[in-house]
Chains A and B, each alone.
Chain A
Amino acid sequence: GAVVSQHPSWVICKSGTSVKIECRSLDFQATTMFWYRQFPKQSLMLMATSNEGSKATYEQGVEKDKFLINHASLTLSTLTVTSAHPEDSSFYICSARESGTFKNEQFFGPGTRLTVL
């Protein structure tokens, strides 16, 4: 089956620093990837849609200058949390949709736990 990986699986950083999270589709190409965040005991909230070769589409209320997304290739999207603060601590999950299909199915990565001190 389609596999999506994320790196790192967890990260702890100091307030004010930037953190980069990678999302890779391992055995398929993904024109479109999605970034979600999940707060404890809450659902996944879509942050942005990452499109290979073009700018990401951000959801309302998500700061594009704070959450930088780069979809450099058909198998890699990165999310950089810039100048992280404790309120950015969360579980970040990416998903990828296989290119060239109409399956409308997304495959999820295992998530990255970010803790900002």
Chain B
Amino acid sequence: SQTIHQWPATLVQPVGSPLSLECTVEGTSNPNLYWYRQAAGRGLQLLFYSVGIGQISSEVPQNLSASRPQDRQFILSSKKLLLSDSGFYLCAWSRSGQAVAQYFGPGTRLTVT
């Protein structure tokens, strides 16, 4: 069966500091991968998606970036965090295709102080 991991689970960072969140998927090959942000416990905003190694598409302009160095690894980064970057960051995976379910990781709760 497939498993998705995220770390860290919680993170408190000062404004202006860098960020690196990691997501890995087990039990599947060539998944589509997604990064979402959820603010205030409501609404899921798609930030990035990837259909393959090195292939990243951005949905929302911001000071975040994403990378996919390996087939089942997805990384979310920032060079300088803003207060508005606080939120619950969720990674998700799906099989390739159009009408497919997405499965979410446990999430990282980021607080920027």
A associates with B: no
Using CB atoms and an 8 Å cutoff, list the residues of chain B in contact with chain A: none
